[in-house]
Amino acid sequence: MIKEAAMALTAFVLLAVSMLSPGDDQGKESAEYRRDMAALQGTWKVVNREGTEGKLDKKFLEMVGFRWKFDGTRFYSLGNFQGFNEVGSSNDVSSFSIDADAKPKTMDIRWMRGKMFTVEKCIYELNGDRLRICQNPHGEPGDPESKRRPKSFEPERGTHDTLYEFERVVQRALTVQENGDAKKDLDRMQGSWRVVSSQVADEKASMMKSRRGKSR
């Protein structure tokens, strides 16, 4: 029985890996594919998000630090609040693939959330340090909407299509002084902290006061 369970687990893992791998028909051999894959790498900050219901407030986007990261063929959605797929999270496994030769160019984002596998169909436009992605967020198996890909960068009325506009996040090298200060702060932050109060008001960033917990 243990042997049968191990074989079933191995089959599931192999199936998951194959589904999360980029497809063979994504134009990966073309020069355009190689150029776009190289240009996508890194972290991108969301500067605009809109659907048929309207735009998300830019102050809110700034507050949560909403950003996407492309690392090889892996994909991460990042943010300053609980539930996002921060690097190292064990909750979500995600990857992406592109067809840079399609018109418009296409992207598939593959998610493995627990036992659920979804594919979100997108189109993208890359221009230097600016990126636009229009996404159909319906990727669940059996959902009739899951096979539809957006046709333009203007969310289609009657759908849940979502347009994201990004700016590349350029990492600045820290000075010697900044590195020293960061190390001091990191050393001082070690240990357990107990939340004693928290506050959220309007669209301002959350303010939290903490007190170092006492070891017993």
Q: Is the pLDDT of residue 39 over 80?
A: yes
Q: Is the pLDDT of residue 104 over 90?
A: yes
Q: Is the pLDDT of residue 65 over 90?
A: no
Structure tokens at 5: 């369970």
Domains observed in the chain: 26-168 (2.40.128)
Span 179-199, pLDDT tens digits: 677 777 888 888 888 888 766
Beta-ladder partners of 123: 106, 134
pLDDT mean over 63-77:
90
The predicted model scores a pTM of: 0.65
Whole-number Å distance between alpha carbons of 109 and 99:
12
Structure tokens at 174: 């820290």
- Tell me the percentage of the chain whose pLDDT exceeds 90: 35
Q: Which residue has the higher pLDDT, 185 or 18?
A: 185
- Phi first, then psi: what are they for 44, rounded to 5°? -125, 130
6-10, 44-48, 132-136: least confident range: 6-10
Write out the DSSP string of the chain: -HHHHHHHHHHHHHHHHHHHSPPTTS-TTSHHHHHHHHHH-EEEEEEEEEETTEEPPHHHHHHHT-EEEEETTEEEEE-SSTTS--TT-SSEEEEEEEETTSSSEEEEEEEEETTEEEEEEEEEEEETTEEEEEEE----TT-TTTT---SSSSPPTTS--EEEEEEE-PPPPPPHHHHHHHHHHHHHH-S-EEEEEEE--TTSPPEEEEEEPPP-
Q: Is the pLDDT of residue 126 over 90?
A: yes
Q: pLDDT confidence of 107, banded at 50, 70, 90?
A: very high
The mean of the pLDDT values for the chain is 76
Q: Is the pLDDT of residue 116 over 90?
A: no
Q: Cβ distance 179 to 173 under 8 Å? A: no
